[in-house]
Amino acid sequence: MDNLGYIQVMKLILMLSILVLGACATGKAYVQVQHGTVGSLTTYARSLVGAPYKYGGNSPSSGFDCSGFVGHVYLHSLGISLPRSTGKISHVGKPVGSKDLHAGDLVFFNTLQRKFSHVGIYLGDDRFIHAPSKGGSVRVENITEDHWRRNYDGARRVTLLR
């Protein structure tokens, strides 16, 4: 093995050691969803534009409600299983400031006179995709529109617990 190969192997061992030690120190090891996979998440989510709204729905054939849509997209594109309710989803991952949003982040809104009553997936460029009950189908909206800006509750970046 040449010096360059040896250095790369040593760097890999060091990174793995840091991850293992970090897991021992906290009891949990969190691995952030890689940005390379976020493209598949947003592409798949966009492919569902126009799917019908259905309260309690979680499939393209029968329709979606907001949490069913988000859960279906994350499971189908990344293999991540999210809780079924919006309230419980709002505890997954890490909080993200509105100025630090990245594609794939979950965005939450107060649409039923209670916090975290609606969820969508941030796409970038002030746009998010969701399954609203009003309007009847999955669609893309601008997060800076008055309604969404006024009712914004925050965002979360999903992490995997390993």
Give the tens place of pLDDT for each residue, 16-33.
Answer: 444 444 433 333 222 344
Give the tens place of pLDDT for each residue, 87-112.
Answer: 999 999 999 999 999 999 999 999 98
**What is the C-alpha R_g of the chain?**
18
Task: Respond yes or no: is residue 130 known to be catalytic.
Answer: yes
Q: Measure Cα distances from 22 to 16, 128, 145 in Å.
A: 10, 34, 41
pTM to 2 decimal places: 0.76
Task: Respond yes or no: is residue 35 known to be catalytic.
Answer: no
Task: Respond yes or no: is residue 24 known to be catalytic.
Answer: no
